[in-house]
């Protein structure tokens, strides 16, 4: 690995925090960029960042990716070997009510990063796409070669737009851009807006949990350590194409009700189910074909939900006990 620092945008976010921690553990210098917004509790982001700042090899930069002057200032200050762009406005349902947040963060912010990269000596850009780009596809498992031109949420559309914009920059300017379609990532230090946290919180408190599509949902739940392995392997790879896309999932499509049962077992309380119809923007099933990542990145997801869920609940209980 290069001695030059790596930039991680969204370093106070869930995946960004874990990637930064792993690279610091490997001796890399890391610059984190985050705006610490209030989409979910900023205290959680501050807690993640505080852990990273215990390393002398970590520098935190606070700023908004939609502010190009701030982005350019960071690139002018540091000579980045690699950029991992994980910052985004997340959430399918939130995009139904806050569309402009997605335009600013996921479109304007993404172009700002690409412009900064192309005017620097950075060797490549890794960036977060999403399994949501598969939209209304019904063929399972989802493969990178599948058509993804039918997004069913604005969030998904912005992520597909990222892939298209990255392709144009690779073609025009020779930038190496590698996108990752994440599949329902969970684990310690996870996000409070995601089902795993919501279910754990409400089950613990004896509050009914919303279960959409009357429970007939399947998701490819992917433990965060497996995703980080894929990202680190991509950073270490020397023979990737100028432009490529990879699914990072667990290659298992799990029933939502099975997940809830595991959370019940780990917490020691039964859930009260509030069965509801499927929500706008939701898809009934996700399932990642990870053969491409196995072949080129040596990606090998190894954490079933029977192992990952108890680990998350252990962290969840410990985190709340300290609040």
DSSP one-letter string for 95-125: HHH-HHHHIIIIIIHHHHHHHHHHTS---EE
Is residue 253 within 8 A of residue 107, CB to CB? The reply is no
Distance CA 311, CA 323 (A): 19
Give the number of residues written for the chain.
323
Among 126, 87, 80, residue whose Cα is nearest residue 233: 126
Contact criterion met (CB below 8 Å) for 180 and 230: yes
Instruction: Name the catalytic one among 94, 127, 134, 155.
Output: 155
In three-state form (DSSP H/G/I as H, E/B as E, the rest C), the secondary structure along 232-286 is HHHHHCCCCCCEEEEEECCCCCEEHHHHHHHHHHHHCCCCCEEECCCCCCCCCEC
What distance in Å separates the CA atoms of residue 31 and residue 64, rounded to the nearest whole number? 15
Query: Sheet harboring 82-85: ordered strands across?
Result: 58-62, 30-34, 6-9, 82-85, 124-128, 176-182, 243-248
Tokens matching residue 254: 């799990």
Alpha helices by DSSP H, listed for the chain, are 14-25, 42-52, 68-77, 94-97, 99-102, 109-118, 154-173, 195-205, 224-236, 256-267, 291-297, 305-321
Please say if 155 is a catalytic residue. yes
* CB of 308 closer than 8 Å to CB of 186: yes
Q: Are 154 and 102 in contact (CB under 8 A)?
A: yes
* Active-site annotation, residues: 155
């Amino acid at each position: 690995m290069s001695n030059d620092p790596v930039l991680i945008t969204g370093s106070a976010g869930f995946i960004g925090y874990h990637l930064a921690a792993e690279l610091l553990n490997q001796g890399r210098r890391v610059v984190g960029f985050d705006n610490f917004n209030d989409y979910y509790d900023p205290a959680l982001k501050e807690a993640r960042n505080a852990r990273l700042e215990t390393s002398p090899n970590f520098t935190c930069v606070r700023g908004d990716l939609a502010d190009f002057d701030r982005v350019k200032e960071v690139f002018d200050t540091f000579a980045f070997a690699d950029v991992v762009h994980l910052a985004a406005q997340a959430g399918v349902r939130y995009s139904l009510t806050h569309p402009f947040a997605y335009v600013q963060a996921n479109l304007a912010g993404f172009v700002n990063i690409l412009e900064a990269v192309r005017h620097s000596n950075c060797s490549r850009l890794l960036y977060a796409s999403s399994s949501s780009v598969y939209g209304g596809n019904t063929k399972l498992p989802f493969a990178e070669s599948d058509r993804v031109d039918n997004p069913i949420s604005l969030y998904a559309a912005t992520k597909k737009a990222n892939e298209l914009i990255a392709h144009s920059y690779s073609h025009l300017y020779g930038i190496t851009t590698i996108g990752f379609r994440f599949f329902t990532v969970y684990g310690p230090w996870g996000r409070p807006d995601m089902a795993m946290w919501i279910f754990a919180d409400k089950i613990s408190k004896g509050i009914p949990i919303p279960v959409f599509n009357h429970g007939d949902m399947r998701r490819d739940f992917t433990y965060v350590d497996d995703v980080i392995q894929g990202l680190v392997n991509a950073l270490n790879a020397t023979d990737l194409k100028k432009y490529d896309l990879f699914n990072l999932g667990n290659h298992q499509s799990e029933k939502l009700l099975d997940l809830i049962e595991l959370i019940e077992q780990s917490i020691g309380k039964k859930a009260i189910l509030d069965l509801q119809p499927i929500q706008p923007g939701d898809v009934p099933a996700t399932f990642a074909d990870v053969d491409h990542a196995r072949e080129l990145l040596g990606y090998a997801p190894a954490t079933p939900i029977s192992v990952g869920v108890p680990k998350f609940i252990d962290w969840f209980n410990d985190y709340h006990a300290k609040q």
